[in-house]
Amino acid sequence: MRLIIAEKPSLALAIAEALPGSIKRQEGAINCGDTTVTWCLGHLLEQAAPEAYDPADKQWRLDRLPIVPKQWKLAPRSKARGQLAVIRKLIKQASEVVHAGDPDREGQLLVQEVIEYLKYRGPVQRLLISDLNRPAVSRALAKLRPNAEYQPLFQAAQARSRADWLYGINLTRAWTLTGRQAGHDGVLSVGRVQTPVLGLIVRRDNAIRDFVPHPFYPLWVDLKVDQGQLRAWWIPQEHQPLDDQGRLIDRAPADALASRLPGASGRLAKLDQQEKRQAPPLPYSLSALQVDAARRHGLSAQMVLDICQLLYERHKLITYPRSDCRYLPEEHFSLAQRNLTGACQNDDSLKQWLNGADFSLRSKAWNDKQVGAHHAIAPSGKPADFSQLSATEGQVFRLIVRNVMAQFYRPLRTFEVKAEFNLLDEAFRARGQSILDPGWKPLFTTRDETPPLPPLTQGEACQVLAAGVEERETRPPEPFTDASLIKAMMNIARYVDDPAVRRTLRDTDGLGTEATRAGIIETLVQRGYLVRKQKALRATRLGSALIAALPSAVSTPERTALWEQRLRGIAEQQDDPGAFQHALLDDLRSLLSHSDAVKLRQSLQTAQGEAAAPVKRAGKPKKSYTRRKSTGKSTGKSTVKSKTTSG
């Protein structure tokens, strides 16, 4: 018997349906003639607990650290024992095994570790599938490769798994025991990914706490030009008192200039006009969907993941959701009209979008070269029964359909104008945008972000109708939300200074994966490190204290980049798993030496004091004054409370 072991049930079914012969289901498997297809349920195995190596390590003790297994062991996950038993029985009957994990590092590990754990010694082939359509699966079945070719990929994934265990087990025990000495009764969990995520939030909270606002003074002019009026803003010169964002922080120069401007004449010194075309946003990866669903509907990352799983498994309305890809296989293009028509049958908004689609258009979304282990999330084509969907399920489903539907809309065409006027030897800038063809834009918003300017001609004259100085105030950074934190985890390179590390992080998936990011956020909440305040994610006193007490190397993302460099080298046979672990242990021993009960106690006390401290506030803004041509006199206006972000 040939036994195919898939990573998940949906993949197993797709494989079975592509095999010749009739399908016969049995417990935990599908039989197709002389081939049986079974599946894992994610990872069936996990790294064994420390006490599995030495019973003495069941008790947490500082003098036992670091714990380093001499011979690594795996143990069945508690909820996976039943399926593991099914595979154990089938593999004993198999003359050949086919590894059908996802075509990536973790997919290689997930199935191969089961094969090795069950001590199968026969031939193993590798089946690589990234598209569940039957023709694509059939082609993949005809191109099996020896699994031995992927041994370096397995070694890299195995090295990552063991490194995470060493890092998490030892640092969690060290800081938990240190916490007890400092008076904290509870586990202080430390991890390679979760702790840098917590560090992001703590540093953002600290920036908000320590932020001292200052006023700045933008000066505007209303100008009469040949074919209308517009508003332009003064660009202060470098000799003026400016902050690091180029904003004027002394009102006197603005007031002095404003008093001279009414009635002044000038000319249009620079004019930049160009038509721009913008392609529709690509279909969603999971993280991109989580960002949009959080912004539009206030859904947490975990809620979006849970909803997607229901839409995929229970309702069968979408394709596999835990994808990091925003492209679709080229083969899907011919099926898109049918699938979208089915998806839109029972919803008026979706029908309206469908009626506006032009299925002769082909966007860049269909690109086999960009499709990896999975393709973008897309509707399956099954009609949705919205009476059977919750309100939030309907919202997420419409987003998924919309982003695929947008591929059949024309590009957004705009006419953008940037104008610089010279008045009294000073520069004033204005910008505007006209919509030439809304294309896909109405599917996303009906709001015009930048109003248009009247028609302009290089060198034309202008005259000041009015001028005014506003007093605005800088604002602190915004606290993280589910949307902005997921985006930060996806683009973690932005938060790193070292150029080499930044490059590595740009080439990887950032912090966490599509499947784990939501869980990381929820884990930090459940462990008492984060709390949700309306939409904001804020660090608790405990979370802030832990980051303050840990070495900075533990709470910043650089380690992920350094690990990724080594793991990539292992996968490409340019590095050695043993050397990687040896370097990690040296690093780990150094970090363990920094566990300090006094520092942690002080961090806990400091965090408690800061939580009770009043927030810094700026003084009351002054009034804004407007200069008008008619009188040239100052007229008091109500306080301008608009503010801009400090950067």
pLDDT along the chain (647 residues), means of 10: 94 93 93 95 95 96 95 94 96 96 90 97 92 83 96 95 96 94 91 94 95 96 97 93 93 97 97 97 96 94 94 88 92 93 93 96 95 89 93 97 98 97 97 95 82 95 97 95 92 80 72 86 94 93 93 88 86 93 94 89 76 43 42 33 33
DSSP secondary-structure letter at 279?
Answer: P
What would the two tokens of residue 138 be? 């059939």
Residue 10 confidence (pLDDT)? 85
Distance CA 119, CA 114 (A): 9
pLDDT of residue 448: 66
Options 284, 320, 495, 529, the catalytic residue? 320
Q: Is-cis flag, bond preceding 55, omega within 30?
A: no
User: What pLDDT is attached to residue 447?
Assistant: 73
pLDDT of residue 630: 36
Alpha-carbon separation of residue 33 from 16, 25, 29, 224 (angstroms): 10, 12, 13, 82
In angstroms, rounded to a whole number, what is the distance separating the alpha carbons of residues 452 and 416?
8
The string of DSSP letters for 107-165 reads: HHHHHHHHHHHTT--S-EEE---S--SHHHHHHHHTT-EEGGGGHHHHHHHHHHHHHHH
Bridge partner list, 45: 76
User: What is the SS3 assignment for 256?
Assistant: helix
By residue count, the chain amounts to 647
Q: Which residues neighbour 220 within 8 Å (Cβ) at sequence distance 6 or greater?
A: 231, 232, 233, 234, 467, 468, 470
Q: What is the pLDDT of residue 647?
A: 35
Give whole-number Cα distances, 60 to 57, 224, 324, in Å: 6, 77, 38
Predicted confidence (pLDDT) per residue in 570-613, tens digit: 999 999 999 999 999 999 999 999 988 898 888 888 776 555 44
Domain ranges of the chain: 2-143, 158-210+477-612, 218-279+413-469, 286-408
Q: Residue 627: its pLDDT value, please?
A: 46
Q: How far is CA 595 from CA 172, 181, 192, 426, 588, in A?
A: 11, 11, 16, 58, 11
Spatial CA neighbour of 109 closest among 20, 192, 168, 42: 42
Please give the structure tokens belonging to residue 334: 């011919």
Architecture of domain 218-279+413-469: Distorted Sandwich (2.70)
What pLDDT, on a 0 to 100 scale, did the predictor assign at position 559? 83
Q: Is residue 320 among the annotated active site residues?
A: yes
- Which CATH architecture fits 2-143? 3-Layer(aba) Sandwich (3.40)
Superfamily of domain 158-210+477-612: Topoisomerase I, domain 2 (1.10.460.10)
Tell me how far apart the alpha carbons of residues 623 and 604 are, in angstroms, rounded to a whole number: 43
pLDDT on residue 102: 86
CATH of domain 286-408: 1.10.290.10
Instruction: Look up residue 206 and give its amino acid.
Output: N
Instruction: Indicate if 218-279+413-469 has the same CATH topology as 2-143.
Output: no
Helix, strand and coil percent figures for the chain, each rounded to 5: 45, 20, 35
- Taking residue 71's Cβ as centre, other Cβ atoms within 10 Å add up to 5
